[in-house]
Each structure stands twice: as structure tokens, then as C-alpha cells.
Structure 1
Amino acid sequence: MLIYRFLSGEDDSAFCHKVTKALSEGWELYGSPTYAYDAVSKKMRCGQAVTRIVREQPYDPDKKLVDY
């Protein structure tokens, strides 16, 4: 089963660490990163989709994706 997560945050080193941690846990980058200006906080925000293949099992929307 393929599971999908979208990581987002302020465009800073903390976001890079979040993506790096996901990669170290077996997630793979999916597509290109995205960037958008947040007019309220006056900061750039970024996002990156990641996917991971896990053993076949019933999908449970109440289960955290990192627990698959």
C-alpha cells in the first residue's frame, strides 16, 4: 500500500529537518517542493509531498500515517 503525507512549514532549517527526518524513516520525495508567501505572517511557507510503501493492510483514517 502506498501512503502519502504533505509536510509544510515556514521556509527555514526546521522545515528542512522535518523533510530529512521523513526521508530517514523511509519516506520518499513525491514531486517538487512548493512555496507560497503567507501575507499574515509575512513569511515564506513551503511544502513537500512524501510517500512510502507499507505492507498491505486495511486503511484506517484514525491511524497516524507515521504508524503504518
Structure 2
Amino acid sequence: MSTPPDGLPVYRVLTGPDDPVFCHRVSEALELGYRLHEGPAVTFDGERVIVAQAVVWPG
């Protein structure tokens, strides 16, 4: 597949609290065929750890 499915963009940044829901979102993107772009960015909002992970469509 030369383009992402369902009209998804080639480059995506997934963000959210560092919890199982976020991990599943990243895993789902990888299962669709996206690849990780560099490492994640991590910050703390005073209550919880927030993560951002970029993914790109290969090609």
C-alpha cells in the first residue's frame, strides 16, 4: 500500500498520558504499517507523564 489507509496522513503525532490506552494507539499505528519516527517526547504536567510519538508512513 503506497498511502496510509482510511485517508490517514503520512505523518502523525500521537499524544496522551503514558498509559495503556496510549500504548495501544501507538501499537495500532504500527500494525497499520506506520514506522516510529525518532524517539518519543516526554513531559510531566504536574499530575501525570504525557508522551508524544511521531509515526510516519514508509515510502
Q: So what's the TM-score if we normalise by structure 1? A: 0.68
How many residue pairs get aligned? The number is 52
1:10 maps to: 17
1:30 maps to: 37
- Secondary structure in 2 matching 1:50: strand
The share of aligned pairs that are identical, in percent, is 37
| 1:34 CA displacement | 1.0
Q: So what's the TM-score if we normalise by structure 2? A: 0.78
> RMSD value over aligned CA atoms?
1.9
Give 5+ residue unaligned stretches, structure 2: 4-8
The answer to whether the aligner puts 1:51 opposite 2:56 as a matched pair is yes
Which 4+ runs in 1 deviate beyond 6 A? none
Partners in 1 of 2:53 and 2:11 — Cα distance? 11
| 1:53 CA displacement | 3.7
- Who wins on radius of gyration, i.e. which is larger? 1
Give 5+ residue unaligned stretches, structure 1: 55-68
Q: Does the aligned pair in 1 maintain the 2:34–2:55 contact within 8 Å?
A: yes
